[in-house]
Structure 1
Amino acid sequence: MKLIIVDLDGTLFDTKDVNYHAYKEAIAPYGYDMDYKYYCEFCNGRHYLDFLPQVTTTDSEILSAMHKAKKIAYKNHLDKAVLNKGLVDIIRLMRGEYKTAVVTTASKENCWDILNQFEIAGLFDLVLTHDDITKSKPDPEGFLKAMEYFGAKPEDTIIFEDSTVGLEAAERSGAFYYKTYRFN
């Protein structure tokens, strides 16, 4: 079995503006603000618990409420997303020979929101989100789980990633991987 795995944020889509505006909207009622440049350099592509405590609070209940509000606000900003059309073309061309999966640290809700918004959910045989794994990238758990699901060996798997932690996870999985570049 051959498998293509793609990351969502920064790889399949440029979602930094979507996420930035959703987080900004979600933290504002708590009296916080976030600088765009700071978000792009230190937060984009990371799980909210890895950066939000540094810019807001360490109170886990408030952080959880902010994240819930961000997931709701995400839908309000999908018009700011940019699809990586070249990667979608590659996936479409290879679907006959390869199974396809998305492995992302994004929430299940936001992942499905954007895949459905761009009408490409049907391109993927499997979608694994932060809600489906116990260890975030750079741990390769998500990639290994996708390979196990299809019975694919690392040498029969190609991963498309953009972030440092994602590339580390891809390398640790033993699969072939390619760095995709941010859209900016």
Structure 2
Amino acid sequence: MYEHVKDKLAMFDLDGTLYDTRKVNFMAYQAALKGFGFSLDMDFFYKKCNGRHYKVFLPVIMGDSKDIDEVNRIKKELYPKYLSDALVNLPLFTIIKKLKEQYYTAVVTTASRKNCEDILKYFGHTELFDLIISGDDTKNKKPDPEGYIKCMDYFKIDPQDAIIFEDSPTGIEAAIKSKASVFTVIGYS
């Protein structure tokens, strides 16, 4: 059987683009931090932590604690418990289903592979994506374009044949640096 080889690529950020996971991440981090004697304010998390790598924001909350990696590990385990609080960007998923006919589709996220796979599976979206590049797969996190470049290299697609959907300033900066076309996603709840 002939398999059509695609010559275009669409890449999607996870948190804030495909799903509004602010409350999911907040609840999981809040529960994980509580076990170590730290509290977490929702407003602070939304403004200062959400969308950033845990090694950037947990030291602000926990200081130089040796338990930062353990808090993140526990957060990843708790994450599925709160997935019912996530909101799906339904219009974007409608676009993805149409794009799949001519584009490879990929998730490129700073989130862990586990949490990315958890949410895709929870909402039945796993099969919509040909590849996942997670925070576990890159040395440099957004705003570095490494994840996007790695994805384009995987499919052997040049930036002029790639599009990226992003929501955060950090992600948009990474997308622009990759030289692909960038679509900004702004609130959809």
Instruction: State TM-score, norm by structure 2.
Output: 0.95
> Matched residue pairs, number?
183
Structure 1: distance between partners of 2:60 and 2:138: 24
SS of the counterpart of 2:183?
strand
Structure 1: distance between partners of 2:119 and 2:107: 12
Gaps of 5+ in 1: none
Structure 2: distance between partners of 1:33 and 1:57: 13
Counterpart of 1:38, as a letter, is F
Structure 2: distance between partners of 1:110 and 1:151: 27
1:100 is aligned to 2:100: no
Match in the other structure for 2:34 = 28
Match in the other structure for 1:180 = 185
1:80 is aligned to 2:57: no
Overall identity of the aligned pairs, in %: 44
Structure 2: distance between partners of 1:71 and 1:5: 23
The Cα shift of 1:85 comes to: 0.7
Contact 1:57 1:63 in 2 (8 A): no
1:54 is aligned to 2:68: no
Moved over 3 A (4+): none
1:111 is aligned to 2:116: yes
CA RMSD, 1 decimal: 0.8
The Cα shift of 1:160 comes to: 0.1
Alignment of 1:1-184 (within 5 A): 1-59=7-65, 61-183=66-188
Instruction: State TM-score, norm by structure 1.
Output: 0.98
